[in-house]
Amino acid sequence: MKATLEKIEQQSLRIPIQPLATMAALASNAEILQFCLDRGAIFDQYLNLTAKQGAITPAMLDVLFRANWRNIQSSQEVMNQLIERAVRQDIHMLNWLLAHGACIRPEDVRKAVTGTAAVHVPTLAILVDEMGGIDHLKKSGVIQMAAQDGHNKLISYLLDAGIDVDEAIPPYKMDLRQAGPTTALYAAVKAKNVETVRLLLQRGAKVDLANENGPHGNETPLQAAEKIGDTEILELLRSNEHVAGGL
């Protein structure tokens, strides 16, 4: 949002407050949103929606809290819904929510991390600590999703936290066209993420661990790579084919 508060104040009589408030909320511009609320803007269906999208910074959350947006001052449910948004943001949003009474429910965290590839690792680390460990994210599909999308920092964190590099999940947690149970290595091979394949092999992923069911039958990551024909991935997998547990 390019408009400055000073310019808006100079033209305040000519600017429609409600549309401006909606634009400010969408842009997470707390200062201009507060300006509009002070001059009569209300939380109609459009401002409610954009406020939810823009509620990602402590400054915006402060404005919404003061205005008691969606009864946030007393609604634990609203706070917990924002936890799902926090996994994609830096730790400042999460710290604000915790300081204002949000409770960390494992089911919310699990839903959040499996619903987006844009997980912010330092934020997730705080959430895992609040939950008492990584157990609630085991068999959630998060490491397979990270492998499919090539998010190596997230993969490293999950493995360090205690996720099994060879854990497998049913295919419905991933792409329905894939065989299952699906491992992270299998997902990385199918997505042709060379550096992710390299990382998983370095962390001990098994090349010959076959899927048990699904349209591809008992297919291993190596067999999947042979079908795809990616020479670099094939070389990596074949060099680890006879090494127990990877490198």
pLDDT tens track for 101-111: 898 989 889 88
* Other Cβ atoms within 10 Å of 93 Cβ, number: 23
Interatomic CA distance for residues 226 and 186, integer angstroms? 12
For residue 94, what pLDDT band results from cuts at 50, 70 and 90? very high
CA dihedral angle for residue 14, residue 32, residue 23, residue 73, rounded to 10 degrees: -130
179: confidence class by pLDDT, cuts 50, 70, 90: very low
Other Cβ atoms within 10 Å of 235 Cβ, number: 12
Span 137-162, average pLDDT: 94
**pLDDT above 60 (res 30):** yes
Q: What are the structural domains, with CATH classification, of the chain? A: 14-70 (no CATH), 75-133 (no CATH), 138-247 (1.25.40.20)
Contact indicator for 45, 25 with CB cutoff of 8 Å: no
Predicted local distance difference test score (pLDDT) of residue 176: 44
Q: Is the pLDDT of residue 16 over 70?
A: yes
Count of Cβ atoms closer than 10 Å to residue 72 Cβ: 22
Rounded CA gap, 133 and 93, in Å?
21
**Residue, of 245 and 69, whose pLDDT is higher:** 69
> Peptide bond before 170: cis, by omega within 30 degrees of 0?
no
The helix-helix angle for 152-161 and 194-202 (nearest 10°) equals 20
Phi (first) and psi of residue 213, to 5 degrees: -140, -175
Instruction: Say whether 22 sits in a helix, a strand or coil.
Output: helix
